[in-house]
Structure formats: structure tokens, C-alpha cells
């Protein structure tokens, strides 16, 4: 049994702040995180719950996306990941882990803020894997500003295009080809419910994702497709040290949670497994909060 699965005090299961300052250029690499994040490389154990399924995960190279890719592969799914070309070193590691699990791995580098690329992703997965049963829209852009009046129009547009427009484009194309029994899962955030002014444009997109997913679920259930969202709290990923937060906040990241530490990506992956699997057959239009005790109400 993995040590992660042994009964223990969850407050002390993973590293807690203070963390070192670790500035990275956006979008950041998981390989440069200190301390390293646990994506399930050694700790996630599958049980065949996604046997034979075919999944597309945007932002699948690092952070939560990487943990989902590892979990899905070890549950029996073939996995395609999309990522920015600059994230190739992280992506190579994910692709290796998927193949080590005995599953097919497909690399789809490109920028999801480009409409053509975002719309092409589902078709490419069908060509490579023979179909598409699970779509996880996880790619996101987050950049903090010291105050509201410093948020730039350029970053506002980039954030909305990456976090919302790409979601719309990829999901619209995927919904045309996914068969009954398929699942679509989006990544929202606690920011949708408790927004911070320094990333209020990011929070705005996450609230939009919640609304979009609930509306999508109402329509797609008529095709036998379920749609749900996961709302993380503070998780230890490259998003924050690469510009998503100030370095001062990085040093204390997760300290304010009831656990006194940030979550590790492997700790949220099982929720994405549930929502993708047939065990979640009666779940649609829901938002699952994994926030370290802060809730999403």
C-alpha cells in the first residue's frame, strides 16, 4: 500500500510553509518546484475504473492536469494531453508515465487561446485514440496584479481567452463527437466564490466556468453526456510561483487553509476519476469543492 493511503494526520501528510521564493517565467515548470509536488508519480494506485476509456486533458503537463493524466492512465484510460510548447519537458515526463502504465499517450502541443488549435483538439484525439469519452478542460492562465487599477487590458483578454473562450471552443467540438456515457469535467476554483482583488479577472473566468458547466450539463444530458466541475483551493502547482501570486504569498502558500498547508495535486485527482467513471453515473451539473476546508458556499 502506498504511504499516501495509510491512515495518518492529513495536516502533516505533505510539506507546509514556509517555502522558498522561486520565481519562474510563466507558465512555469513542475520540475522546478521546491518542494517537489506529488502528482501521484509514486503514490497513485489505480483499480481499473476507466478501463478502455479515451481522455483529453488540457493543461495536462503539470499541476492538477498532470495528476489527472497519471490517475486516468493507471485507471486504464488512454490519455492525450495538450500543453504549451514551452512546457515540453514537463509534458515528456507525463507522456512517459502514461506509457509506463501500459496506456497510449498522445502529445498535443499548442496554445488553447488559438481558436483553431482549441477546436482541433477533439478531432486529433479521435484520430489518435479512436474516440473521445472523457474531456477535462483544465488549462488556465493566472497573473496577479498589486491592485485592480493595475490589471492590464492585455492580461484581461489573455485570461478570458485562455480560461473561457478555449473552454467553449473545445467543448463545443467535443460534444459533437462524444458518445452517450461520456463525461466532461471543467476546473473552476474557490476564486469563483471567494475572489481576490489581485486576480479578480481570473476569478471572473472561474465564476464563468461554473455557470457554463451547469448550463452545459442541462443540455448534454439529453445526449447522455454528463458535465461537472471541480473547484480547487490552494494547490501546489507552478501556477503561483510563475506569476499567479507574489513571491511573498508563495512563501506562505496554503498556510491559511484549515490544514495549514497547500493541497498536493494527487489529493484532488480522485475527484476527477469519480466524475469521469461510471461510478459517477448520477452526477451532473455539480461543482465539487476541494479547498482545504474552506468550502464553496
Determine whether 288 is an active site residue: no
Q: At what angle do helices 63-74 and 88-100 cross, to 10 degrees?
A: 20
In sequence order, which residues have a C-beta less than 8 Å from that of residue 187 and are 6 or more positions away?
59, 64, 136, 137, 138, 140, 209, 229, 230, 232
Tell me the HSE value of 293 on the side-chain side, using a 13 A CA sphere.
11
CA atoms of 220 and 218, how far apart (whole Å): 6
> In which residue are the cell numbers 510553509 written?
17
Neighbours of 255 (CB within 10 A): 16
Locus of grid cell 501570486: 245
Active-site residue, selected from the candidate residues 14, 83, 202, 272? 202
**Positive/negative CA dihedral, 42, 232, 229, 297:** positive
Distance CA 232, CA 249 (A): 17
**What is the 8-class DSSP label of residue 33?**
-
C-alpha 49/C-alpha 283 separation (Å) is 16
Torsion over CA of 89, 126, 159 and 202, rounded to 10 degrees? -90
The closest alpha carbon to 19, from 266, 238, 265, belongs to 238
Where do we find the cell 481576490?
Answer: 196
Distance CA 255, CA 93 (A): 29
Active site residues per annotation: 202
Amino acid at each position: 500500500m502506498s504511504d499516501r493511503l495509510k491512515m495518518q494526520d492529513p495536516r502533516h501528510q505533505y510539506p507546509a510553509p514556509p517555502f522558498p521564493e522561486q520565481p519562474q517565467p510563466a507558465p512555469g515548470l513542475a520540475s522546478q518546484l521546491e518542494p517537489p509536488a506529488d502528482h501521484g508519480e509514486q503514490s497513485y494506485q489505480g483499480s481499473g475504473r476507466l478501463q478502455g476509456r479515451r481522455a483529453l486533458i488540457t493543461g495536462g503537463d503539470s499541476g492538477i492536469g498532470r495528476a489527472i493524466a497519471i490517475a486516468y492512465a493507471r485507471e486504464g484510460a488512454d490519455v492525450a494531453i495538450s500543453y504549451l510548447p514551452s512546457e515540453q519537458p514537463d509534458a515528456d515526463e507525463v507522456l512517459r508515465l502514461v506509457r509506463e502504465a501500459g496506456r497510449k499517450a498522445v502529445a498535443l502541443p499548442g496554445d488553447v487561446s488559438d481558436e483553431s488549435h482549441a477546436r482541433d483538439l477533439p478531432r486529433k484525439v479521435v484520430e489518435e485514440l479512436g474516440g473521445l469519452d472523457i474531456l477535462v478542460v483544465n488549462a488556465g492562465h493566472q497573473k496577479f496584479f498589486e491592485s485592480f487599477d493595475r490589471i492590464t487590458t492585455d492580461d484581461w483578454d489573455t485570461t478570458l481567452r485562455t480560461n473561457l473562450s478555449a473552454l467553449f471552443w473545445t467543448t463545443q467540438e467535443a460534444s459533437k463527437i462524444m458518445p452517450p456515457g461520456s463525461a466532461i469535467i471543467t476546473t473552476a476554483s474557490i476564486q469563483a466564490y471567494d475572489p481576490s482583488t489581485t486576480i479578480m479577472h481570473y476569478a471572473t473566468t472561474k465564476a464563468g466556468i461554473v455557470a457554463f458547466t451547469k448550463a452545459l450539463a442541462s443540455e448534454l444530458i439529453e445526449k447522455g453526456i454528463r458535465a461537472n466541475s471541480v473547484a480547487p483551493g490552494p494547490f501546489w502547482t507552478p501556477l503561483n510561483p510563475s506569476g499567479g501570486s507574489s513571491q511573498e504569498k508563495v512563501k506562505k502558500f496554503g498556510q491559511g487553509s484549515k490544514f495549514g498547508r497547500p493541497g498536493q495535486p494527487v489529493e484532488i485527482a480522485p475527484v476527477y476519476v469519480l466524475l469521469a467513471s461510471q461510478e459517477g453515473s448520477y452526477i451532473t451539473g455539480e461543482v465539487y469543492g476541494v479547498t482545504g476546508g474552506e468550502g464553496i458556499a
